[in-house]
Amino acid sequence: MKTRRGSPALPPLQLLRLLLLLLPLPGASTGPYKPVIIVHGLFDAPKQFMKLTEIIQKEHPGTLVVPISLYDNYASLTPMWKQVQGFGSKINSIMNMYPDGVHLLCFSQGGLVCRAVLSTMPHHNVHTFISLSSPQAGQYGDTDAKYLWWIFHGCLKKEVYHICYHKLGKKVSICDYWNDPHHRPDYLKNNDFLALLNGDKPHSNMTAWRDNFLRIKKLVLIGGPDDGVITPWQSSHFGFYDSNEEVVEMRNQTFYRKDTFGLKTLDARGDVSVCVQPGVKHTSWHSNFTVFRTCMEKWLT
């Protein structure tokens, strides 16, 4: 998630460069590196990823980097399954042009969009899935920028479940991954996105979704204690609160132990990389060269 409300218009030259990035040519050569598809987070758009695009292309010359322009800015509040459908269509069209495989780099809310795309898309060819500061186990808490205050009209975190676990919550993306540890029965009954994606609520597609997700070769989880938005920050590594708001780490989560969507299998294969980077604020993950060099670079080949 990202809390910046707006940005000035891009200068014409930068806008042209961005448009060129968004127009991959069928059969175009990407040199020795696979294409990198970027999916933005809440209140974001492709222009926030120009710095990361420049870093990738400088360090890995010839790489095709495609930040997808869809559900940008305030439209990112669109319900998650609708976003999954839209982004999935865009991602699929790019993958079809590059049969040797692509990488998927997804930020914040976009990391959940991408995981749902990977789970529901048979025969995808995503090699590495980088989840960059994404609330993979859910969100419970306000942020440094107090986004709950203005999105939910002054509600505190302990009150948001009244909105998210009722009909109104079906219209706001954040509610699709709001995981209140004090109202677990309400979450399981009313959440039709994260509870299904994590296998918290059994459903008929679990086996197929698990098989689809396990097609990836590497899962890279990036986050850190100074993020200021993802709460708890360990959710970026599949950790989350118990009913006492104590963080339970990934390997002790029920969805890991039961291997409901393939996370335990990936880990047993040695294909889960967890990168903890202190000192990085949420809106800086995609412009920080140290984060790229330390957590991403070796997987984007």
**Catalytic residue list:** 108, 227, 282
Residue 109 · residue 136 · CB < 8 Å: no
Dump strand ranges (E) for 125-241: 126-132, 218-223, 240-241
89-92-93-98 Cα dihedral, nearest 10 degrees: 170
Cβ within 8 Å of residue 102, ≥6 positions away = 34, 35, 36, 37, 94, 95, 125, 126, 127
Specify burial of residue 169 (Cβ count, 10 A radius: 0-12, 13-18, 19+): buried
Q: Give the C-alpha separation, 138 to 180, whole Å.
A: 9
- Give 7-11 contacts, CB < 8 A, sequence gap 24+: 7/47, 7/48, 10/47
